[in-house]
Amino acid sequence: MCLSAGRLAVMTEDSTADPYLWLEDVTGDEALDWVRARNAETVAELTGGERFEQTRAKLLEVLDADDRIPYPRRRGEYLYNFWQDAAHPRGVWRRTTLAEYRSASPDWDVLLDVDALAEREGENWVWNSATMLRPDYHLALVELSRGGADATVVREFDVRTREFVTDGFTLPEAKTRVGWIDADTVYVGTDFGDGSLTSSGYARVAKRWRRGTPLAEAEMVFEGKPEDVAVYAYHDSTPGFERDFVGRFPDFFTSEEYLRTAGGDLVRIEVPDDASTDIHREWLLVTLRSDWTVDGTTHRAGSLLATRFDDFMAGGRDLTPLFVPDEHTSLSGQAWTRNHLILVELSDVKTRLEVLTHGPDGWARAPLSGAPEVGSANVIDTDPDNSDEYLLNVSGYLQPATLLRGEVGGELETLKQAPAFFDAEGLTVEQHFATSDDGTRVPYFVVAGPDTSGPTLLYGYGGFEVSLTPGYSGGLGRGWLTHGGTYVVANIRGGGEYGPEWHRAALRENRPRAYEDFAAVARDLVARGITTPARLGMQGGSNGGLLAGVMLTRYPELFGAVVSQVPLLDLSRYHLLLAGASWMAEWGDPDDPADWAYLKTYSPYHNVHSGTKYPPVFFVTSTRDDRVHPGHARKMAARMIEQGHRPHYYENIEGGHGAAADNSQRAFMSAIVYEFLLSTLGEA
């Protein structure tokens, strides 16, 4: 369907018809002609100079560097890795042994060359994932997308023959969820035809599909509601604990999960709707997003509780708190090994690691070494079926990543050390706290040299309980810090840095608190003498792109430049576009007058005006982004142009929600953003 001005319009309370709906036609000729014209203007203005080309080349060196850490995932006896470089821009899926991985130049066994596949089949394939069949890991369900979209094609792959299985499990392009039950059976949720998808575009039904039978004959095992976000089904093949589960997500933060018995009956796991569960062997873990009172005891939001799964399903409620938050700490994540549970905690946004072990006297805890003083540590893989091995990635803003391997109770071994891509001499990292409008202390990190008279870039996200923790970026170092720039990350409400209450504080009608927090950090930077409004830029992507749009329209006096990447900007229609309906629990329902009453007060598309002076702004998006519709950025730029403003705009034709499909595109996209910021704010 072609959407064009005058042919289709939307009306919202206190608004006029939207003249730019035709730009929501993602691949329509008229819309793409507009995109190409804007791209040409931006490329001509920002990419002609020597600095841009040098930055692009330096960023590509980082992305293609042979001495990057090839992060592995253990599957049985092998370590698997997906790798992209100059010789393999689309990438190769490969594996090696631990003994080989320890060497300086491991001998990798290439299983699938995506570049060769794309050339052979004449498709723009981008790697997504591979789900392998336990315990032998001989078969894999490989997911490939066209151009980097969320929607994927699924094809069964035989690791032994390095070939796709003839007449194997194959699914056409869709936002599919698929997983193994056994070698001849899978659970699948996909586009089965009319009525099989939710309003968010994800699977509404889950089916059990047997090898050699048509997909249309797959057995229905679970069905959700049209307004749900999605449904799911999965099989736990842990020996001695084989179980099947199904469930639905009524919204982004709530779920209903059921044990599916051998007879097909569904038994609800009776935890709060907004809690999440983790089932490992005999254990059930429950992570709370809100307070939960059980047998007279109230467990605080953000707590992690443990109980035996079978006892709980039989009605027992003997819950042991394994983690309880306080005003400074939150649980960032957990990972099981065969016999232990590793907790990753944040204390004022700094990582702390603990290991918990169950014994005759209950749960015992001990610190786990490896967390840096100012930085982050993340468990990237464990082998819960077979061992107590764990892989730990450690980095900081000025500390290149180190990949550590340990076994609980043993020593840590350095497997790989990433190179330093920029000179950090004289640079420091400091944490400060700004005071928001309601008195809340908001932490932020500053990466700077002794002279902060150069430009400052402030980054933020503030949504979906996502935490921004310190991490090394060679691209940031080369593209920004080496030009005398100061880099700042704001840990505003809406994120998860202080657990679910930090997130809930900026949910729905309270969303402006996140924007007030970010503005407070901007003001605090000026008050400390770190920067000035004219030399302060800000950047955000996705939900952070909405943050950037609000900063542009509500706080234009605080910034000298704004970068809004793959953004949501039209809050009257976001729920009608692609996956937008799945996010209504975060922002609200524009069709509900009560929700629209507050959404319209900060929706950037509805709050940009002629006659107002805005800082230079750069909108960046992707045609192939099938998560956040490119129409948001297109329409915002078009409206600003109509009003007499001069926004910069660039839309990559490929790339999905990440806005780039390969390293060359990633380098270009990052370099053009840095060039915009440096040319607008000036170098040191």
Cα separation of 628 and 424, whole Å? 36
Q: Find the distance separating the first CA and the last CA of the chain, reported in whole Å.
A: 50
Cα separation of 555 and 519, whole Å? 7
For residue 130, being part of any structural domain is answered with no
Query: What local confidence, expressed as pLDDT, does residue 14 receive?
Result: 40
For residue 309, being part of any structural domain is answered with no
Cα separation of 496 and 289, whole Å? 11
Percent of the chain with pLDDT over 70: 96
- DSSP strand pairing (177-182 vs 78-83): unpaired
Torsion (CA) 86, 88, 90, 95 in degrees, nearest 10: -130
For residue 359, being part of any structural domain is answered with no
Burial class (CB in 10 A: 0-12, 13-18, 19+), 107: exposed
**Residues labelled as active-site residues:** 542, 657
pLDDT band at 147 (very low <50, low <70, confident <90, very high): confident
Query: What local confidence, expressed as pLDDT, does residue 3 receive?
Result: 32
Per residue in 294-319, pLDDT tens? Answer: 999 999 999 999 999 999 999 999 99
Domains of the chain: total: 1
Query: What local confidence, expressed as pLDDT, does residue 16 receive?
Result: 54
Per residue in 76-114, pLDDT tens? Answer: 999 999 999 999 999 999 999 999 999 999 999 999 999
For residue 52, being part of any structural domain is answered with no
Query: What local confidence, expressed as pLDDT, does residue 683 receive?
Result: 87
Cα separation of 207 and 220, whole Å? 4
The overall average pLDDT reported for the chain is 94
Query: Is-contact 342 382, C-beta < 8 A?
Result: yes
Percent of the chain with pLDDT over 90: 92
**CB neighbours of residue 267 within 10 Å:** 11
Query: What local confidence, expressed as pLDDT, does residue 312 receive?
Result: 98
Tokens of 109: 């066994």
Q: How many CA atoms lie within 13 A of 184 on its CB side?
A: 4
State yes or no: pLDDT of 71 exceeds 80.
yes
For residue 446, being part of any structural domain is answered with yes
Cα separation of 113 and 452, whole Å? 46
For residue 403, being part of any structural domain is answered with no
Torsion (CA) 175, 180, 186, 190 in degrees, nearest 10: -10
Sign for the CA dihedral angle at 398, 403, 409, 410 comes to negative
> Angle of helix 543-554 relative to helix 631-642, nearest 10 degrees?
20
For residue 673, being part of any structural domain is answered with yes
For residue 382, being part of any structural domain is answered with no
Per residue in 513-539, pLDDT tens? Answer: 999 999 999 999 999 999 999 999 999
pLDDT band at 1 (very low <50, low <70, confident <90, very high): very low
Cα separation of 182 and 210, whole Å? 10
> What is the mean pLDDT of the segment spanning 601-624?
96
| Position 427, amino acid | L
Cα separation of 488 and 122, whole Å? 43
Residues 6+ apart with CB under 8 A from 193: none
Per residue in 195-242, pLDDT tens? Answer: 999 999 999 999 999 999 999 999 999 999 999 999 999 999 999 999
CATH of the domain at 481: 3.40.50.1820
Cα separation of 188 and 177, whole Å? 6
Domain of residue 540 covers 21-46+433-681
pLDDT band at 637 (very low <50, low <70, confident <90, very high): very high
Beta-bridge mates of residue 174: 152
Nearest to 569 by CA among 523, 635, 624: 635
| Position 128, amino acid | N
Sheet holding 230-236, edge to edge: 230-236, 243-251, 254-260, 266-268
State yes or no: pLDDT of 6 exceeds 80.
no
> What is the mean pLDDT of the segment spanning 247-252?
95
Beta-bridge mates of residue 403: 393, 416
State yes or no: pLDDT of 660 exceeds 80.
no
Beta-bridge mates of residue 307: 284
Top pLDDT among 666 and 14 is at 666
pLDDT band at 655 (very low <50, low <70, confident <90, very high): low
